[in-house]
Structure 1
Amino acid sequence: MKKKAPSVESGGFNRQDCSGSLPDGFYDLNPSAPYFSSASAPNFPYLDLGICREPQVKSLIRSHSKDMYRLLEKVHFDGKYYRVKCVSSGDWEYCWDLAVRIQFFGKMQGIVLYPKRLVSRDEKKIVYRSVILVNPYQLWDQTLVARFWNLQERIEFLIARILFHECIHLMISLGNTLPSDFGNTDIYLEFRRMLEISNSNKLISEFHEVQFRLWNLSLFGAEGSESEQTLLERVQEIYEFLINEKYSNQKTGKVFHSSSNNEKLARKYAWVAGVKAGGDVQVSRNVWKVEIRRLSIALRRLYKGIDTLLR
């Protein structure tokens, strides 16, 4: 599989998150931030997440993915950037910096922000900076409590599971961004296989139905000055996001023995897709919601077809 590094002229960053999004102010984290944040939580007014043992979290991840462990091996969970990968292609060097921070913030389990792109023409170097925020707010989930009575073990398991999920998105981004062959991890190749299956002739009707619903939602969210080509690119980007989420949730569920239900995934990410498409700028909220439900049904069928072909 061949990929090309993005042109040097393009800049900025693309924030694509499956779990949620944060204001830009969260992107460049405070270098003096504490190792772990403490916060009020049910039954634990000042729970200190510092009881989590970082080596134990990494050990849990290493047992399931050596590629991911290598990505995280030198990264401390303190919100500071660490260089995790550096490759050369032609006269240019491509580097990836990663920051991981663990804290309570609302009800999103995790967020990955990627990549902020910094170009140095003098050094002929392009640096991508990514941030993963982990929010272990589900510490008191009944299933987890029944499985791990020890609070420390429960925190470490939950952080490992969330971090694993978010790192899948990051590794897919690495595979799509770095020069050919440098980002081809097992996770990236598995995702590409799922994406290819979702585009195959065996799922042509399911594929077209999802694309049609995404096109409608993109029209609903269009500002009016956007070209047809721009809308088509948005549809394709959101479609790949939906397959990305299918793979990430399925992979994480298999590794950490948690359920990955197609109906639930389709319902959740159909709504996220509608938001990514621009919302209900051109139509009433009720019309938008109807199209979201139709996308959810189409997406569930597509996900089920993918599972059938992957067996």
Structure 2
Amino acid sequence: MKKKTRPLEQNENISQDNSGYFFQGFYDLNLSSPCSSFTSVQYIPCLDLSICRETGVKSIIKAHSKDMYHLLENVHFDGEYCRVKCAKDGEWEFCWDLAVRVQFFGKMQGVALYPKRSFSGKEKKIVYRSFILVNPYQLWDESLVRRFWNIQERIEFLVARILFHECIHVMISLGKTFPSSSGNTDIFLEFREMLDIAESKKLVTETNEVKFRLWNLALFGASGSESEQTLFERVQELYEFLINEKYSNQKTGQVFNSPLRNSKLARKYAWIAAVKAGGDQQISKRVWQVEVRRLSIALRALYDEIDSLLRVK
């Protein structure tokens, strides 16, 4: 008897924002194979993905974020890069290219590869490239089948849900990278609001506790040659990553009616942040795991307080 997959609402989108550990294995994907190719992923019947209409997916996204829709409007889901935004800052031009591919590739719902940057001093142009992989492997999940008997509607909903989550990360990167108001999308402004709350004086106790745990984990994962300033910057980067994931999961859950508890988010992303910090290079695995659990507890308290402050706004 084949093993059943967990219900859709109990699964989580996993998004990678930096190169390194979490990208191992994905570089070996055959991205030149056609998007509509058949799959032989375990527990999943073969399916021609060409039944997934780009217009159907984009229509779902448009209903919840017009800025995200405009970003995806001319992007095809074939893995080919499309220029989605350009902006001028003095003599320099900033451009953003985006590629999206829908493909079965194991049991990770989606991944947004950290944007690569290239620049030309002669043309005075900086180009950022982001790549999103969407994996609708949960297509035959029982709760999703009950909700959408029509397989075309089901796959379009699932692809839209995963793509929405991954595009949030892209839009946050765009907002942080592009000059002035050029990257101020609805998504980025909402994220900034949550980040401002997370760094406000009202949450100084919760913030300091999370950053203290991140500092310990950064020390545990340090190679030994990093300066104190480098470690401080790593802690701030990890802290923002944790708020990024809080917002991305919360926004996707609200839009697609699949909310996740803060306790579950905290456990998952505390572990990911700990690995991003460098793992247990300088300490025993047991001590490292204890510190990860402490980070998870502190992170849940921070997430709960963020929600409380957002509710009263």
Normalised to the residue count of structure 2, the TM-score between the two structures is 0.90
Distance 1:261 1:281 in 2: 31
Give the aligned partner of residue 27 of structure 2. Answer: 26
Which aligned pairs between 1:245-260 and structure 2 lie closer than 5 A? Answer: 245-260=245-260
Deviation at 1:141, TM superposition (A): 2.1
Q: Partner of 1:83: helix, strand, or coil? A: strand
Alignment size in residue pairs = 295
Distance 1:36 1:59 in 2: 20
Q: Partner of 2:75: helix, strand, or coil? A: coil
Deviation at 1:37, TM superposition (A): 4.0
Which aligned pairs between 1:65-104 and structure 2 lie closer than 5 A? Answer: 65-104=65-104
| Amino acid in the other structure paired with 2:123 | E
Give the aligned partner of residue 184 of structure 2. Answer: 184
Distance 1:127 1:90 in 2: 16
Deviation at 1:148, TM superposition (A): 1.1
Give the aligned partner of residue 10 of structure 1. Answer: none
Does the CA contact (< 8 Å) of 1:37 and 1:104 recur in 2?
no
Deviation at 1:42, TM superposition (A): 5.2
Q: Partner of 2:202: helix, strand, or coil? A: helix
Q: In the TM superposition, what whole-angstrom CA distance separates every residue of 1:126-157 from its partner, at most 9, and x where no partner exists?
A: 11111000011111222212211222211110
Does 2:117 correspond to 1:134? Answer: no
Deviation at 1:46, TM superposition (A): 2.4
Distance 1:230 1:307 in 2: 31
Shifted more, 243-252 versus 115-124: the winner is: 115-124
Q: Partner of 1:197: helix, strand, or coil? A: helix
Deviation at 1:35, TM superposition (A): 3.0
Q: Partner of 1:96: helix, strand, or coil? A: strand
Q: Partner of 2:180: helix, strand, or coil? A: coil
Deviation at 1:23, TM superposition (A): 4.0
Distance 2:276 2:85 in 1: 29
Does the CA contact (< 8 Å) of 1:33 and 1:79 recur in 2?
no
| Amino acid in the other structure paired with 1:224 | G
Does the CA contact (< 8 Å) of 1:37 and 1:49 recur in 2?
yes
Distance 1:155 1:42 in 2: 18
Give the aligned partner of residue 213 of structure 1. Answer: 213
Distance 1:44 1:289 in 2: 34
| Amino acid in the other structure paired with 1:218 | A
Does the CA contact (< 8 Å) of 1:99 and 1:130 recur in 2?
yes
Distance 1:37 1:79 in 2: 13
Does the CA contact (< 8 Å) of 2:44 and 2:140 recur in 1?
no
Give the aligned partner of residue 115 of structure 1. Answer: 115
Give the aligned partner of residue 196 of structure 1. Answer: 196
Distance 2:250 2:33 in 1: 33
Does the CA contact (< 8 Å) of 1:95 and 1:125 recur in 2?
yes
| Amino acid in the other structure paired with 2:23 | L
- CA 1:47–1:248 in 2, change beyond 3 Å: closer, same or farther? same
Does the CA contact (< 8 Å) of 2:214 and 2:295 recur in 1?
yes
Distance 2:39 2:161 in 1: 20
Distance 1:160 1:63 in 2: 11
Does the CA contact (< 8 Å) of 2:60 and 2:160 recur in 1?
yes
Does 2:51 correspond to 1:60? Answer: no
| Amino acid in the other structure paired with 1:296 | S
Distance 2:56 2:45 in 1: 25
Give the aligned partner of residue 271 of structure 1. Answer: 271
Deviation at 1:264, TM superposition (A): 0.4
Distance 1:182 1:207 in 2: 30
Give the aligned partner of residue 5 of structure 2. Answer: none
| Amino acid in the other structure paired with 2:144 | L
| Amino acid in the other structure paired with 1:128 | Y
Q: In the TM superposition, what whole-angstrom CA distance separates every residue of 1:52-107 from its partner, at most 9, and x where no partner exists?
A: 11100000000110000000000000000000001111111111000001111222
Does the CA contact (< 8 Å) of 1:81 and 1:97 recur in 2?
yes
User: Structure 2 unaligned runs (5+)?
Assistant: 1-15
Instruction: Give RMSD over aligned pairs.
Output: 1.9
Deviation at 1:29, TM superposition (A): 8.0
Give the aligned partner of residue 288 of structure 1. Answer: 288
Deviation at 1:43, TM superposition (A): 5.8
Distance 1:282 1:156 in 2: 46
Shifted more, 36-45 versus 108-117: the winner is: 36-45
Q: Partner of 1:123: helix, strand, or coil? A: coil
Does the CA contact (< 8 Å) of 1:36 and 1:101 recur in 2?
no
| Amino acid in the other structure paired with 1:213 | R
Distance 1:186 1:152 in 2: 29
Q: Partner of 2:39: helix, strand, or coil? A: strand
Normalised to the residue count of structure 1, the TM-score between the two structures is 0.91
- CA 1:87–1:264 in 2, change beyond 3 Å: closer, same or farther? same
